[in-house]
Amino acid sequence: MANNTADHPPGNSVTEIDQDGDFGITMIQLRDLMELRSGEAVSKIAECYGDVQGICRRLKTSTIEGLSANPTDLEKRYTVFGKNFIPPKKPKTFLQLVWEALQDVTLIILEVAAIISLGLSFYHPQGEGKDNCGQASGGVEDEGEAQAGWIEGAAILFSVIIVVLVTAFNDWSKEKQFRGLQNRIEKEQKFTVIRKGQVIQISVAEIVVGDIAQIKYGDLLPADGILIQGNDLKIDESSLTGESDHVRKSLEKDPMLLSGTHVMEGSGRMVVTAVGMNSQTGIIVTLLGATGEDEKKVKKAKTQDGIALEIQPLKSEEGAETEEKEEKEKKKVNVSKKEKSVLQSKLTRLAVQIGKAGLIMSAVTVIILILYFVIDTFGVQGHKWTAECTPIYVQYFVKFFIIGVTVLVVAVPEGLPLAVTISLAYSVKKMMKDNNLVRHLDACETMGNATAICSDKTGTLTMNRMTVVQAYIGDTHYKNVPEPGAINPETLELLVNSISINSAYTTKIMPPEMEGGLPRHVGNKTECSLLGLVLDLKRDYQPIRDEIPEEKLYKVYTFNSSRKSMSTVLKNATGPGFRMYSKGASEIVLRKCSHVLDASGQPRAFKAKDRDEMVRKVIEPMACDGLRTICVAMRNFTTEPDWDNEAEILNDLTCICVVGIEDPVRHEVPEAIAKCQRAGITVRMVTGDNINTARAIATKCGILQPGEDFLCMEGKEFNQQIRNDKGEVEQERLDKVWPKLRVLARSSPTDKHTLVKGIIDSTVGETRQVVAVTGDGTNDGPALKKADVGFAMGIAGTDVAKEASDIILTDDNFTSIVKAVMWGRNVYDSISKFLQFQLTVNVVAVIVAFTGACITQDSPLKAVQMLWVNLIMDTLASLALATEPPTESLLLRKPYGRNKPLISRTMMKNILGHAIYQLVITFTLLFAGEKLFNIDNGRNAPLHSPPSEHYTIIFNVFVMMQLFNEINARKIHGERNVFEGIYRNPIFCSVVLGTFVLQIVIVQFGGKPFSCTALTIDQWLWCVFIGVGELLWGQLISAIPTHHLKFLKEAGHGIPKNEFSEEVLTEGENEIDIAEMELRRGQILWFRGLNRIQTQIKVVNAFRSSLYEGLEKPDSRNSIHNFMSHPEFVPLSEEEPHVFQIDENSVQIEPIFSFSGAGVGSV
């Protein structure tokens, strides 16, 4: 490519810019130009500017030297053309988050009750006529209530305010954390430009119009530009156009490159013509405006082929909000995106169950109280309803309503959403230290349920520090790198030239950063190993590259997943003709060789039998040593062929040498894989290497164990086994292969996606598999998206892979994945611990409030005391139990799986066991406490009496029992030692001590607001002693074998495999997934589920009744929305004669016949 430095000197002087007063082209002209495509753009450039060089001259830049990097010049460009920055949306203010938190149904009920209570406290009816209106025990208004009646309402409101502030603060800090994470991702995103003739990497935000940028495979373009020089360049423009086909770019046909698009193949250079808000992405963002609603509409409308439009590129300081919205849009539009996480679906179902139970209990309480009052007043006492008595009766009824609401408040665990959010946020923060950068919160928890990991080999299991250790040159197999003198000089010259020229010029070996360190490998690691071979042969590659710069390369066939080779063509300097250098996977390139250089450097014929012999004697021994084999070859052309006919060009080659490259296994990987296997996780290696190398590495890692019956196969064989005669993948065939498959070699990205999808969609096991996938290349995007958790490589990963992933491994190390599993399981266990504690409190408090209210017509625990126990203690408990650090023991058990309930039988035993202890103690104190402690009876106390010691002791003992039960709740699998590792969690210790101190303050100084009176030291010791009894009782419970308690039910199941997803029918109706939306906000609206559930059951019944009997409900796994089922909803038919398959690209339902486990289902 000719360079026009003569037309404009590279060192663009500032004085010249000042004289011109402006550039030779305006921002508007460039914007208009960038809106044209292909032929139109080429003719417009030719008509107005001559060629791309003309545009470069007007932008005062050199295609070879780039910009001068003069600060004044850069500043001028910022001013004229704008900065490469898209302003973020404003984050939600704290007040907005407070308002959102106030929308919680539970809190609304509390607020209404509090306001009614407050209103009534200021309304005092006249005293006369009271005697005629009847009298109920525990009357509405005693002196304490008269003086401090407002306190209960105020205390409820105060508690609501605390919960709202905690939730809002949590959401605010989460959003802040996401913005920080987004900024971190942005800062890490660098781009290669040429300035002052030097190739440098700068932050994407620093790119200006006029920069000459180098682009390569895997890049996400940060700005609009026009191609100056390209090698086999293909771009994925689906993020802007919705067209999934890759667009070939060339100077002659289509040189326009757009920001936000992905480079899928090839390399090249472009001149930047539009940045930030003036780029095509920026213009679309501007059109969308700032509202999320418009954004959704445009995204929805512009979607084609199931591809969601990623309007927002990685470079934009849009925080979490945009990213989450974008992800959500992708989830809604693209059916292949993940369904909601395991924990979310279980929590949603459990929330509905608890909500129902709470509603029933509170309704029954209110009904019993009203009936008792009505029968007693109008039946037994024979009073009549008179006008003057109406206010008093209303007060009674409102009091009953408040008691009912108190029961409801206690029944619904508000602390749960908080526990979930705290646990996830805490884990994400800590995972950063373990080299896991979590992009989506729920991925953290899903990872704990992973049953399979499909890992790359290079860089993840191995060090990705490649070194040539063996070579076959001139008919000799060298077990070590040979001395230069041992090789024929002509062969050596060819080898050095081939490696130096036929590799990306961005790949280099740099001096070590620290003295005595290893040289730094920059760029493609395989190419680095070959350049290392050149240096080992006492030669240098740089002078050759300086002599033949990239502009002189006639044609480049860049490496891609289908070619598995790279070739570069040079025009002969001395005479006519061309020379092509090639390199690639040995078995692929050798098949295209017809000659090989012998010891004297002369080509001799290389037939099929010679190739078989070389494979047997050279390549297989190298591969069995775990080496990656690369063949370097060449070909001379006397006349110019048709360069587009690749099959003809990449043929008739002459083999120069075959090298064996070692990529040592990371030292820590075998142990990490052993941990995974102990934890019930199957590790599979999916690699592009040949099968022998893959098998050798897999054996070193421990993926393959001697004597085990496992499959290792190549992509070609894999496809033959899983596809039918028409070439379509059949799930049934795939189900026969994947359970035993451990190594998939010579696999394409499509094979990886097929394998991941096949495992996820499989119905072979009892539960659906949860699959994690690692990927670094652009083509790994679909597999990363399809997987339940996608891990992208932070160092070797391309921008495209990072965008498709859920977690970024900042150190590219497999060990970090194991840590992610540990943290994921810890989140799950933390939630279960909290549930065990919370539900014990709830069961006891509900029963005490319910029976107390029915027997004494007043709850032994007052509303404010209940709120202290329920809201404040649970908020603190969620903090204590959700921040338990993970231990290695988490990896000694199998994954829970999708269908295992949140509350296991052991946990149910603990909940009910401790509830029995607490209820016996509470009722003993309620009905015999005055005798035991020799104090006045607090039951049926006369009116106008101050808070009694009797009821204060009940309240205090209740809190002490919860406090010590919190220590029991630390273990959920029936372990005996509940104190194990307690010192490693300072938060837990401080919460327990803090709660204890607060309880002392409330009892001793709470007075009327808390209905408490100060206790003596003896009484305090008895209260603590009864509390400590919880620990001893816990030991007794854990001694009872769970398997004998068959009557215990489990709760909080996942969604069964055979459950029907109603959303499949209404996919286009933009259905909102409750659990997904609400868990993100850290809130679950417990009661909305009840209404939805009734509707859904009607829909399901209607749908099922229209089909013939015996029809099994279609499988919901292909749907991104999951049906929140009715807990008691049992399938009518247990047989499985019919399975429905939902096509991913359309909502067609195709019946396929399948067989039930025992016998054949009738069709």
Give the residue numbers annotated as catalytic, written as ranges: 456
3 state DSSP class of 1044? helix
Which residues are CB-contacts of 125 (< 8 A; sequence separation ≥ 6)? 391, 392, 395
Q: How far apart are CA 790 and CA 804, in angstroms?
A: 7
The CA-based diameter of the chain, rounded to the nearest angstrom, is 125
Which residues are CB-contacts of 1001 (< 8 A; sequence separation ≥ 6)? none
The token pair at 613 is 């012999």
DSSP code at position 250: B
Q: Characterise 439 by phi-psi region: left (phi > 0), alpha (psi -120 to 50), beta (else).
A: alpha
At which residue do the structure tokens 């679906």 appear? 345
Residue positions counted in the chain: 1163
237 near 249, Cβ under 8 Å? no
The token pair at 516 is 């005595």
The token pair at 1049 is 């039910």
347 near 1075, Cβ under 8 Å? yes
Nearest 5 degrees, angle CA 1116-CA 1121-CA 1125? 65
200 near 192, Cβ under 8 Å? yes
Q: Residue 628's closest CA among 751, 463, 801, 753? A: 463
Residue type, 976: R
Q: How far apart are CA 853 and CA 835, in angstroms?
A: 26
The token pair at 978 is 């509940």
87 near 219, Cβ under 8 Å? no
At which residue do the structure tokens 């393959």 appear? 704
- In degrees to the nearest 10, what's the CA dihedral of 251, 256, 257, 259? 170
Q: How far apart are CA 982 and CA 950, in angstroms?
A: 34
Beta strand pairing status for 789-793 and 771-775? parallel
Which residues are CB-contacts of 442 (< 8 A; sequence separation ≥ 6)? 340, 341, 343, 344, 424, 1079
911 near 847, Cβ under 8 Å? no
596 near 655, Cβ under 8 Å? yes
Q: How far apart are CA 1160 and CA 1155, in angstroms?
A: 5
Q: How far apart are CA 288 and CA 321, in angstroms?
A: 16
**Which element (helix H / strand E) includes 468?**
strand 467-473
At which residue do the structure tokens 């060819």 appear? 494
- Other Cβ atoms closer than 10 A to 69: 15
Which residues are CB-contacts of 169 (< 8 A; sequence separation ≥ 6)? 94
